[in-house]
Amino acid sequence: MGNLRAYSGITTKIRAMHKRLISDAAFRELANLTSVQEAVLFLKRQPGYQDIFQSVDETSLHRVEIEDNLRSSIYDDFSSIYSFANMSQRKYMDLYFKRYEVDFIKSCLRNTYSNNEVSSNDLELNKKFFERHSQIDLEKIKVCTTIDELIQGLKDTEYYSGLSRLEHISNPTLFNYENALDFQYFSSLWKNMQKVLDKKDLEIIIRDQGSKMDLLNILWIFRSKQYYNMSNADVYAMLLPHQYKLKTMDITKLVEASTKEEYFQALASTYYGKRYQLTSIASVEDVYAQVRNKQHLVDAREHPYSIATINSYLYFKETEVDLLTTTLECIRYRVEPSEILNIIKKQ
């Protein structure tokens, strides 16, 4: 009963917001458009995006700007849920927010690496949102031109110690920095969610985040070995800190596998291998999306008055933005509509 009272308002709010997500039919319509301008006009018609795209001129939009606007629609949704949430729900959302923060720092790092300016458009667009939720001093970050300055700018945040430690290793790369951020994000999420969630909510989130980490580890091990030829020790160093259904043995087998065949053999014996047909990396990627989709659908349906409603909605929203970004990109490069639908799995 307690949960029903705590979640009744926010669940209703989120149900209403669900209505504004783009339907599969609408995605099919979008895929059939032939130019980015048309696509933006299409977005202007969608209730979830019309506010954001209303003021922009579709003929002069740059790709980056469209993507920034799409991202900020996530932030808008996050904010409106946040304003509906009570104190304990907000605590979880504060933890959840850190993924946006990490994404933001990553994009800053990339920009500095490639000597671009920190995207000022993105900063201006989402300044209010970050000022409200973030521990980062945006003004300080804005003027940074080197990685060192950037790290110094993050001095008062939890990311500092992980990032600054990388000075001690020889030639840290962008990969090292991003890995340190991911690491920090997942460990702090894992550690702190035990404090802010009650038992039932915690179970849901552990299932969600645990399987996410497992699947990411499986993916990353494959990629780092097959595409980047990383040494085993480097692969171990990169892995995310917690395991859900994967055993330590599974991980060593996966990492020590020297050929693709051995890898998939090892994978077949894991929890995920037994459950799903994992015979190629494409199928692993599919399974990653499938598992997460399904889990969120089921959680939101079975536990409507729990943290799952917030968690799942944000997941769907983020996925939708990813798909929209992909679709727009496909439209830009004149990919055939059927091919687009194949890529975004909306046939």
Which chain residues interact with another protein by CB under 8 A?
Answer: 161, 165-166, 168-170, 183, 187, 231-234, 236-237, 239, 241, 248, 251-252, 255
Residue among 16 and 233 whose Cβ is closer to another protein: 233
In angstroms, give the least distance from the CB of 234 to another protein. 4
In angstroms, give the least distance from the CB of 163 to another protein. 12
Euclidean distance between CA atoms 277 and 268, whole angstroms: 8
Residue among 19 and 195 whose Cβ is closer to another protein: 195
Cβ contacts of residue 74 below 8 Å, gap of 6+?
100, 314, 317, 318, 321
Residue among 121 and 252 whose Cβ is closer to another protein: 252
In angstroms, give the least distance from the CB of 204 to another protein. 26
In angstroms, give the least distance from the CB of 190 to another protein. 12
Using an 8 Å Cβ cutoff, are 296 and 310 in contact?
Answer: no
Closest by Cα among 73, 75, 68 to 46: 73
In angstroms, give the least distance from the CB of 68 to another protein. 33
Residue among 16 and 169 whose Cβ is closer to another protein: 169
Euclidean distance between CA atoms 74 and 184, whole angstroms: 22
Euclidean distance between CA atoms 312 and 288, whole angstroms: 15
Using an 8 Å Cβ cutoff, are 310 and 15 in contact?
Answer: no
Radius of gyration of the chain (CA): 21
Instruction: Tell me phi and psi for residue 268, to 5 degrees.
Output: -60, -25
Residue among 183 and 305 whose Cβ is closer to another protein: 183
